[in-house]
Amino acid sequence: MAIEALEVEGGWLPLARRISSPNFDQRPAGAEVELVVIHAISLPPNEFGGGYVERLFTNQLDYSLHPYFATLEGVRVSAHFYIERGGDLLQFVATQDRAWHAGVSQWCGRRACNDFSLGIELEGCDEMPFSEHQYKTLQTLIDELRRRMPTLTRDRFVGHSDIAPRRKTDPGPCFEWSRIDAAFRP
């Protein structure tokens, strides 16, 4: 699946609000999008709103606002997409570029999943269900990605915990994988 399939809009989906992150680089030569990694994030942990994730992804987080934020100082992360609790879709990195979302990771024997994946962050945590608005937006996003990249089959949508099992637990036990399954039904 060629990344060029998304370059019509420069790798930016018109259905998302664009907020450019500096935390990305070019994919390795010849790399294709073969995987979508679903994450969960909340800042501070288990709290929603406040725009802190957006600030983290754009290196504008004030680390003095919360004790947890101090642990993130110097961290440079991003994702291609972020879905807020109310269902708003934000895009931080163009799809043809490599967002810094997976960290040390492996899928089907291949290391460095950032090289060949898209990252979707959901505002959430392991302990609480995601919102209906988020699932609806996620469904729309999956439909759009599949329309543009038909080789993204169900088995290519995984959780962060699947590619970094000793390090990560997200999107967590409250994430309804049946919603992903439903996205692939005719």
Q: Which residues are catalytic?
A: 121
Evaluated on CA atoms 155, 4, 29, 92, the torsion sign reads negative
| Burial of 4 from C-beta contacts in 10 A (0-12 / 13-18 / 19+) | exposed
Contacts (Cβ under 8 Å, ≥6 apart) of 19: 54, 57, 58, 90, 91, 92
User: Hey, how many other C-beta atoms are within 10 angstroms of the C-beta on 91?
Assistant: 23
From 14, 20, 26, 31, select the one nearest 93 (Cα to Cα). 20
Please check whether residue 135 is in contact with residue 89, taking contact to mean a CB–CB distance below 8 angstroms: no
Q: Estimate to the nearest angstrom the gap between the alpha carbon of 175 and the chain centroid.
A: 14
- Residue 78 CA to chain centroid, in angstroms? 8
Please choose, from the candidates 183, 170, 26, the residue with its C-alpha nearest in 3D space to the C-alpha of residue 93: 26
